[in-house]
């Protein structure tokens, strides 16, 4: 599946299974001569790792990264940067029950049908653990974007029907759900904790803002900036939709309301979400993704065995009742990769 390569001028290849030897990533095309330390990447890894709080899986993943290539004396060399995460907390036996049955909501059934063979251990390649490699790569892209004055921030705006009503940016990394509203965050935590006890899970919405992108990024007709961001987001297993700016609300709007008018101070509104005709407008890039409820729940569910017999399954394990807080660094990472890639494409175009 050559689908494991992403990007044009900043290109990444991820590999590895949840309970294999390691997961990792190669980043090809990073600007040479840029300072890059493992500790900088590790900060992002720690935001994604399980066991951070009462609302995340207590599973212990040693998300300690190692730069294997492409960095010399603390600087990128222009050679491909390989970053590895060796797996340690492997409990294949804990997954023997899922060897023979398809867990609802998981990719067990579809992988079996696609490949005719399946590494069932902890979802194998389909595990959320694959996103650790993306976060490592995203940290490299983030470093490159810092030079340009671009920042990427994502946060939980809704969980299980509880919506954030206000935006306190400084609070985002101070609460376990990474919500932007202290009151909503408190309710979200309670909901998630109660779902953990019930053996159920819930979905949510993550919003992302990209600041500091000047007008001009994005390549019509097909590689529009929003098109590439949409692909990046939907490539995250739990994401089932995306909307930019006014998003689905635009279906109920008039053109006279939706058009972002301009005066000499800039745009009067940002219904377009900072992207018009596939190209950044200079306004903040704003989009939201919907995150489905975690598929792994301990409530019993109907399913089939690999040989087609009806059965019931309840996924015992150490799972996140709501994946929003841990998906946020993944969202940011993919955004960093897309935006940095488009900066490089623009440089190629204009050169």
> Rounded to whole angstroms, how far apart are CA atoms 292 and 294?
6
Question: Half-sphere exposure (CA, 13 Å, Cβ side) for 223?
Answer: 15
Backbone φ, ψ for residue 92 (5° rounding): -50, -35
Residue 269 marked ligand-binding: no
Which C-beta is closer to its own copies: that of 93 or that of 310? Answer: 310
Residue 293 marked ligand-binding: yes
Shortest distance, CB of residue 149 to its own copies, whole angstroms?
14
Residue 123 marked ligand-binding: no
Shortest distance, CB of residue 31 to its own copies, whole angstroms?
6
> Rounded to whole angstroms, how far apart are CA atoms 144 and 35?
9
206: nearest Cα among 288, 300, 323, 106: 288
Residue 121 marked ligand-binding: no
> Rounded to whole angstroms, how far apart are CA atoms 123 and 296?
11
53: nearest Cα among 148, 177, 170: 177
Residue 294 marked ligand-binding: yes
> Rounded to whole angstroms, how far apart are CA atoms 272 and 245?
5
Which C-beta is closer to its own copies: that of 87 or that of 170? Answer: 87
Distance set, CA 194 to CA 106, 188, 202, 300 (Å): 23, 10, 11, 18
Shortest distance, CB of residue 113 to its own copies, whole angstroms?
4
Which C-beta is closer to its own copies: that of 151 or that of 269? Answer: 269
Which C-beta is closer to its own copies: that of 93 or that of 170? Answer: 93
Which C-beta is closer to its own copies: that of 170 or that of 208? Answer: 208
Shortest distance, CB of residue 333 to its own copies, whole angstroms?
13
Residue 295 marked ligand-binding: yes
Shortest distance, CB of residue 218 to its own copies, whole angstroms?
7
Determine how many CB atoms are found less than 10 A away from the CB of residue 146.
14
Which C-beta is closer to its own copies: that of 109 or that of 167? Answer: 109
Shortest distance, CB of residue 71 to its own copies, whole angstroms?
9
Residue 53 marked ligand-binding: no
> Rounded to whole angstroms, how far apart are CA atoms 328 and 286?
14
254: nearest Cα among 274, 269, 265: 269
**Binding residue positions for FMN:** 125-127, 277, 292-296, 318
**Binding residue positions for NADP(+):** 48
């Amino acid at each position: 599946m050559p689908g494991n390569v992403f990007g044009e001028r900043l290109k990444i290849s991820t590999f590895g299974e949840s309970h294999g030897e390691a997961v990792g990533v190669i980043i090809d095309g990073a600007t040479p001569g840029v300072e890059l330390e493992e500790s900088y990447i590790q900060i992002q890894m720690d935001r994604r790792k399980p066991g951070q709080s009462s609302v995340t899986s207590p599973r212990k993943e040693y998300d300690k990264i190692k730069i294997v290539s492409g960095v010399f004396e603390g600087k990128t060399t222009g050679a491909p940067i390989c970053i590895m995460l060796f797996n340690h907390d492997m409990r294949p036996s804990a997954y023997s029950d899922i060897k023979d049955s398809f867990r609802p909501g998981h990719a067990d059934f579809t992988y079996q049908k696609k490949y005719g063979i399946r590494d069932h251990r902890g979802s194998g390649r389909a595990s959320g653990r694959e996103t650790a490699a993306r976060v490592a790569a995203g940290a490299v892209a983030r470093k490159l974007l810092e030079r340009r004055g671009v920042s990427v921030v994502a946060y939980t705006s809704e969980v299980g029907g509880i919506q954030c009503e206000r935006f306190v940016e400084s609070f985002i990394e101070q609460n376990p759900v990474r919500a932007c509203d202290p009151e909503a965050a408190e309710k979200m935590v309670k909901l998630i904790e109660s779902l953990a006890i019930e053996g159920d899970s819930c979905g949510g919405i993550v919003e992302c803002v990209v600041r500091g992108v000047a007008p001009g990024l994005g390549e019509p007709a097909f590689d529009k900036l929003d098109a590439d961001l949409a692909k990046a987001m939907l490539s995250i297993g739990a994401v089932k939709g995306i909307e930019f700016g006014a998003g689905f609300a635009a279906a109920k709007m008039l053109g006279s309301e939706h058009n972002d008018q301009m005066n000499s101070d800039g745009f009067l509104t940002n219904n377009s979400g900072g992207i018009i005709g596939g190209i950044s407008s200079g306004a903040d890039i704003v989009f939201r993704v919907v995150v489905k409820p975690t598929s792994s729940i301990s409530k019993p569910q109907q399913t089939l065995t690999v040989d087609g017999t009806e059965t019931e399954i309840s996924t015992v394990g150490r799972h996140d009742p709501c994946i929003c807080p841990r998906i946020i660094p993944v969202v940011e990472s993919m955004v960093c990769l897309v935006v940095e890639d488009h900066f490089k494409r623009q440089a190629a175009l204009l050169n």
